Amino acid sequence: MRMFSSRNIRRSGMALAMLVTVGLTTGFTNMSTGNLTVTASVAGACLIGNATLAFGAYNPTSATAVSATTNVTLTCTLSTPFGISMSAGAATGATVTTRAMTITGGGTSTLGYGLYQDSTHMTNWTNNNSYTATSSATSLTNTVPIYGQIPASEAAPVGSYTDTVVMTVNF
């Protein structure tokens, strides 16, 4: 009679594994608990996107101003106070109250325009945080409208005009 058959060894190994497992889970007689404190800090942040304000065709002989609207998207941490500033643009001699687009192709002709915070064209965008708000309390995305207007009867030669205004968000 064989005492160490492979079947007996397998049974003995399984029994030993069960004893070790039971001993590990029930072999402790005392217990103590502690708390793990988990912390994080959310920093205020805002990113400002790019936008394009396209006036389309402008007729300098018309007695009607041409208006256009666009939106700039800000991505901010929730409930973050911010201010938006806009530069005067790239045209020589432009200011935040007298912005100008320059004819493309290397010329010096300009076409005046204004940027406003309201659809009535009364509140000018300036370079000193003239637009202030607090970001949404429920969404990271915030949309801010930008209103533009080219005055009526602005004398300018035929061509395409462009300007680049730097938008800055401070938070």
- pLDDT tens per residue across span 106-165: 889 999 999 999 999 999 999 998 899 999 999 999 999 999 999 999 999 999 999 999
Q: What pLDDT sits at residue 25?
A: 56
Whole-model pTM: value is 0.79
Confidence of residue 7 (pLDDT cuts 50, 70, 90): low
Q: Which helix (H) or strand (E) holds 100?
A: strand 99-103
Domains and CATH numbers, the chain: 46-170 (2.60.40.1090)
Burial class (CB within 10 angstroms; exposed 0-12, middle 13-18, buried 19+) of 23: exposed
Q: What is the pLDDT of residues 57-112, one digit of tens each?
A: 999 999 999 999 999 999 999 999 999 999 999 999 999 999 999 999 988 999 99
